[in-house]
Structure 1
Amino acid sequence: MAYNRYFEDEKMENLDPNNIKRVLAYLKPYKYRVALSLFLMAMAAFADLLGPYLTKIAIDNYILAGDYRGLTIISLIFMGLLAVNGFAVRFRVLIMSKVGHQVVRNIRQDLFQHIQNLSFSYFDSIPAGKIIVRVMNNVNSLQNLLENGLINIITDTFRFLAILLIMLNLNLRLTLISITVMPILIFLIFLLKKKIRIGWRRVQKKRSNMNAYIHESLTGMKITQAFVREEKNSNIFKDLQNDYVSNWMKTVMMSHGIFPIVLLINTASVIIMYLVGIRDLNAGLVTIGTLVALLQYIWRLWQPIINISNFYNQVLVANSAAERIFDVLDTDPDIVDLPEAKVMPEIDGKVEFKNVSFSYEEDGEIILKDMNFEVQPGETIAFVGATGAGKSTIINLMTRFYDIDKGDILIDDIDIQGVKIASLRKQIGVMMQDTFIFSGSIADNIRYGNLEATREDIEEAAKMVYADSFIREMENGYDTEVNERGSRLSVGQRQLISFARTILSDPKILILDEATSSIDTQTEILIQKATQAVLKGRTSFVIAHRLSTIRNADRIMVLEAGEIIETGSHEELMARQGHYHDLYMAQYNRVI
């Protein structure tokens, strides 16, 4: 899968109208509250629609007749209807606001949960900023549709039909004449709908690009300032913003262009009714009360149409957002448990690679080529080689962060493809080269992989990697809060905490990927002594560019272009005077 960069629009399939149906399916648990909202809206609509009819009765039956008592009664009824309308609308808003927030919460939770289960290959292909947009902005875009749009479209549809029937009942001729302009509106809406839909899709893509660049810039802020790139980056962001604003303005102008069209057509229909109505009034074909009521109803007739046209815009915006949400939810993880997968039993630590080949992309460069090796329980294996030789790839395949293209990987003679992923990874401890510290306390970071660990366990793990002393010197010791990515800690301190976290998980197989790359020599010597005890009884894999740190490994495997070209102990490889010997001597001479 090709990587989608911040300045590249994401490619989407054709917009699926079923996306909205899938969003509305989230309303099912709240169907009774939605039904109550519909009932309240029906009450409000009924109260509102009786107003013009009461006006007709008041004019024709009481005002012209001078019946003040009847007029007073009608007025009190009218006031009561206004109160019912206000009450119903207020409580409908409260109910649907809560429902809308709960549905948005559920969609966002499903999205976040699914993202955590996606394979590494997915994150290799999409910038984190674009994923964040889908979890936050795109989900938020659905809220207005859920809170107002759905209920309004149902009530406005019935409201429109009810008004039309009342008008036809009051005066068939005037009603039919006044709505002759409606086909013009329908034609214009269908003419614009495709352009508006495409426009909102483009806006979502531009917003995603902008957010991806913000995330990338914040993550690399130290590098930006170190290389004085602030002005250049500001110009890049300015271009992204201009691109977003330009597309947003074009789409908004098209979307809101419907409203003045509706207003003009509405005004035209009212003018037609005035002109024809006054003539009919003079001819005695209509009463004053009926004409006044019809004029009030004609304004109300167009309000649902305006609302429905606005709702159509909401649907287009929501559908565009839903498309991106379900694009994630419909993405299947590459690495999944097979239907017949079993729980991995407690392992001893035997590891075997049989004719393993792998490439990160289909038909891409082959990273490992027919690799074969066997490791006995308790052995410590070191991988050595240039960058890109395949050292970290071996680790990624052993933990099933990626799946092999061909061959077999066995642990205790069990094919790891046939066991549940979680049961495999729980028994393998990995300290990655790129250490990550989460926001929270230092104790929480060390406990991250073993939530049942006690405070004594945490402190013991920290002591084993010689992190205890610097932790206790901090203002709150183990309870000291650290920032996202551990920005207030040195690189070496972050690695020590990460090392303690790995040890605390008590793995049967321990993997150290450049675990001491950023630790000073003095601390590294102490850690080497401590890890001898930790490695004892565990199968361990160590990746290190600093060759002095792996002299005590049981076996050292030298990799080149995805193949093992040498293997043996430090002494054996030095005596052989091959590739490892040259690497070690070159590094040793540089140190001297």
Structure 2
Amino acid sequence: MTKTLKRLAGYYKPYKGLFFSDMFFAILGAGITLVIPLLVRYITSTVVYLPSDKSTDMIVKLGIFMIVLVLIEAFCNFYIAYYGHIMGASIERDMRNEIFSHYQKLSFAFYDNQKVGHLLSRITADLFDISELLHHGPEDLVISIIKFVGAFGILMFINVRLALAAFLFIPFLILYAVYFNKKMKRAFRENRARIADINTQIEDSLSGIRVVKSFANEKVEMKKFRQGNERFVNSKKLSYKYMGTYNSGMGAFTTLITISVLLTGAFYLTKGEMPVEDLVTVLLYINNFTDPVKKLITFTEQFQNGYSGYSRFLEIMAVAPDIQDALDAEEVSDVKGAIDFENVSFAYEGTQEKVLSHVNLKVKAGEYVALVGSSGAGKTTLCSLIPRFYDVTEGRVLLDGEDIRELKLQSLRNQIGIVQQDVYLFAGTVMENIRYGKPDATDEEVIRAAKAANAHEFIMELEQGYDTDIGQRGVKLSGGQKQRLSIARVFLKNPPILIFDEATSALDNESEKIVQQSLENLAKDRTTFVIAHRLSTIRKAQRILVLTEDGIAEEGTHEELMKKNGIYSSLYKLSFA
């Protein structure tokens, strides 16, 4: 825990000035609250007994002084509330940048086993609680200690017996707090998991809202949401039970302290062993004495929230990217596009079953290769190994004779363009989505890429042309239009290696014809891998590979494979049956 807290404290480093000024004003404000009751004691024990003209003059001066102290305290409270929150928000921003940057580095294998809602919860709710702890935690702790220790010292100076009466319940209060803190920590952690589940449910339901409505399943989604929401409330009930017991118990202890001091003071007053101003002053300090206890209650609550959030933050940050640059990785330059698979085997993380087993394949630079076969044969997996979305389990993949694991990831992926069946377009304009292929491209370059992809014509028919907002995931466009934008994006990137992953299988015949023409334009003079569902689209391929669970079963041109009358011939005839 000490190591974790030390690491958490490291986030203050860029904001040392703000942190120390925040602490200074917190200490100054706490000091002022300790001074004012002493001034009250001085007035009630000394000033009121001076001659009338002197006492009046002194009361006016002390009154002005106390007003000045109150104004200074008000400024201190403003400073720690405003600038302290700015510091907390800045740290939250830094941590959000850090975790989002880490998300970008993690491989497909990580995301295969994660829910978006859980990842979203770690970057929003968790980080807010951490920033609240980092802002309020230190100042609340410092203010509480100053008030607590200061009030105890002053109480001991004024009257030892009253001070001891005040501290009679402190050991019990500490034991009580420690016991329920542990209970609350477990409950808060459970709350985090439940709210992440709800985020996942919302994200899933809203992302698939068209499917929901097409099946008229709004009630089903509402039922699922209510179940998750109910689990969240149940976990909250437990945490509120502990919190309620904790707060009520701590409140009872602080009241008992006041009663203890009052009864002890009253006892000694009746015996004439204590001046009344001592009891008045001590009662004023009891408020200063119990206030830190209340702040500590808030602090422990914040600490549980913030620490459990930071623990979850560290869990993600501890996940090392399983695909990253080697220490001596090189930049890719002058790529021809020859791809070799040497004895390649692959199994997904957590499974023993191999998707690919001892595959050997040589693809020349500029060659057009089609991959066919039944679902689960490993076509997409084989192509996913080229840009290192996954790393081979055995063997190696070579680009122009170099092992791709010895090349820098970004440099490698810059050489590869991928057009998938399930096109992902970002919320924004047509121009922004095409420019994603080359972020520094000019408008003219974007338009040239759109023309090459047969997309310019339909774009100009849109209400605002290239500045048209296409909605979340391009919802305002047809399947063929979205596909052509994704092709334009790759045209703009202009890579020497292409992967078409069933890019036309979800389109109607007319759209397929246009998109197929765009793909053929794009594939000219580039090393191209085509994963084909519709076999009619790959008849012109220079090589067709038939993948089965046992590896590459057949290889050749369309005409050669049809003559063999084997697997490819059966698949082709079946597709036209």
Instruction: Kindly state the Cα deviation for residue 177 of structure 1 after the two structures are TM-superposed.
Output: 2.0
Instruction: Say if 1:529 and 1:180 are closer, same or farther in 2 by CA, change over 3 A.
Output: closer
1:357-380 Cα offsets, whole Å, 9 max, x none, are 001124432100100110111110
Give the stretch that moved more between structures: 223-232 or 203-212. 223-232
Please name the residue that 2:175 is paired with: 187
1:41 counterpart = 2:61: no
With 323-332 and 518-527 compared, the bigger mean Cα shift is at: 518-527
Could you say which residue in structure 1 is the equivalent of 2:427?
A: 439
Question: Tell me, what secondary structure is at the counterpart of 2:118?
Answer: helix
Q: CA deviation at 1:554?
A: 0.3
Distance 2:550 2:283 in 1: 82
Residue 227 (structure 1) aligns with: 215
Instruction: Give the match for residue 477 of structure 1.
Output: 465
Query: Scaled by the length of structure 2, what TM-score is found?
Result: 0.97
Matching of residue 154 in structure 1 with residue 154 in structure 2: no
- Tell me, yes or no, if structure 1 residue 546 matches structure 2 residue 534: yes
Q: Is the 8 A contact 1:55 1:289 kept in 2?
A: no
User: Relative to 1, partners in 2 of residues 1:276 and 1:132: Cα closer, same or farther, differing over 3 Å?
Assistant: same
User: Are the aligned partners of 1:96 and 1:146 in contact in 2 as well (CA < 8 Å)?
Assistant: no
Q: Which runs of 5+ in 1 are unaligned?
A: 1-15
Q: In the alignment, which residue of structure 2 is the partner of 1:5?
A: none
In 1, distance between residues paired with 2:295 and 2:335?
A: 64
Counterpart selection for 1:77 from 65, 68, 72: 65
Distance in 1 between residues matched to 2:264 and 2:515, nearest whole Å: 96
- Which range moved further: 248-257 or 236-245? 248-257
Residue by residue over 1:235-266, the C-alpha shift from the partner in whole angstroms, topping out at 9 and shown as x without a partner, is 11111111101211321231243232222222
1:340-390 deviation digits (Å, cap 9, x = unpaired) = 111122210111101100011244321001001101111100000111110
The TM-score, its normalising length taken from structure 1, stands at 0.94
Contact 1:20 1:318 in 2 (8 A): no
Provide the rounded CA distance (Å) in 2 between the counterparts of 1:46 and 1:287.
26
The answer (yes or no) to whether the contact 1:442–1:479 under 8 Å persists in 2 is yes
Q: Partner of 1:22 in structure 2? A: 7
CA distance in 1, matches of 2:5, 2:237: 24
Residue aligned with 2:423, SS? coil
2:409 is matched with: 421
Secondary structure, aligned partner of 2:333: coil
Tell me, yes or no, if the aligned pair for 1:499 and 1:515 is still in contact at 8 Å: no
- How is 1:361-400 mapped onto 2 (pairs within 5 angstroms)? 361-400=349-388
**Inter-partner Cα distance in structure 1 for 2:507 and 2:454:** 11
Q: CA RMSD in A?
A: 1.5
Which letter maps to 2:370? A
Distance 1:551 1:57 in 2: 101
Task: Name the CA distance, whole Å, in 2 between partners of 1:484 and 1:346.
Answer: 37
| 1:225 maps to amino acid | K
From 24, 31, 50, the equivalent of 2:16 is 31
Q: Work out whether residues 25 and 80 of structure 2, in 8 Å CA contact, stay in contact via their aligned partners in 1.
A: yes
Find the residue that maps to 1:279 and give its secondary structure: helix
- Report the AA paired with residue 482 of structure 1: I
| Distance (Å, rounded) in 2 between the aligned partners of 1:392 and 1:62 | 90
| The one of 228, 233, 236 aligned to 1:240 | 228
**2:329 maps to amino acid:** A
Out of 263, 270, 277, the position equivalent to 1:275 is: 263
- Contact 2:425/2:473, CA 8 A, preserved across alignment: yes
* Cα deviation digits, residues 525-573 of structure 1 (max 9, x gap): 3444444443222111111111111011000000111511000000100
Q: After TM superposition, give the deviation of residue 307 of structure 1 in Å.
A: 0.8
Number of aligned residue pairs:
574
Amino acid corresponding to residue 393 of structure 1 in structure 2 = T
Whichever residue aligns with residue 468 of structure 1, its letter is H
For residues 447-495 of structure 1, give each alpha carbon's deviation from its aligned partner in whole angstroms, at most 9, with x where no partner exists.
1021232323222222222222211110011111111211111122111
The residue matched to 1:482 in structure 2 has which SS?
coil
Matched, 1:581 2:569: yes
Report the CA distance between 1:228 and its aligned residue.
Answer: 2.1
Identify the range of structure 1 (202-211 vs 461-470) with the bigger mean alpha-carbon deviation: 461-470
Deviations 1:282-339 (A, max 9, x none): 3332222221111111221111122112201211111111111111111111101111
Correspondence for 2:88: 100
CA shift for structure 1 position 80: 1.8
Query: Deviation string for 1:266-287 (max 9, x for gaps)?
Result: 2222222222212322333222
Asked if the contact 2:367/2:542 (under 8 Å) is kept, the reply is yes
Write the distance in 2 (CA, Å) between the matches of 1:528 and 1:259. 68
Matched residue of 1:481: which SS? coil
Distance (Å, rounded) in 1 between the aligned partners of 2:72 and 2:250: 29
Greater shift after overlay, 117-126 or 252-261? 252-261
The aligned counterpart of 1:512 is 500
Give the deviation of 1:403 after TM superposition.
0.2
Is 1:127 the counterpart of 2:115 in the alignment?
Answer: yes
Match of 1:11 in 2: none
Q: What is the aligned partner in structure 2 of residue 7 from structure 1?
A: none
Alpha-carbon deviations, 1:36-56, whole Å to 9, x = none? 111111211121111111111
Counterpart for residue 164 of structure 1:
152
Distance 2:517 2:300 in 1: 69
The one-letter amino acid of 1:183's match is P
Return the alpha-carbon distance in structure 2 between the equivalents of residues 50 and 362 of structure 1.
65
> Does residue 295 of the first structure (1) align with residue 283 of the second (2)?
yes
The aligned amino acid for 2:37 is: P
Given residue 46 of structure 1, which amino acid in structure 2 is its aligned partner? G
Identity of aligned residues (%): 33
1:525–1:272 CA distance, 2 compared to 1 (3 A): closer
In 2, Cα distance between the equivalents of 1:454 and 1:588?
45
Partners of 1:220 and 1:404 lie apart in 2 by 33
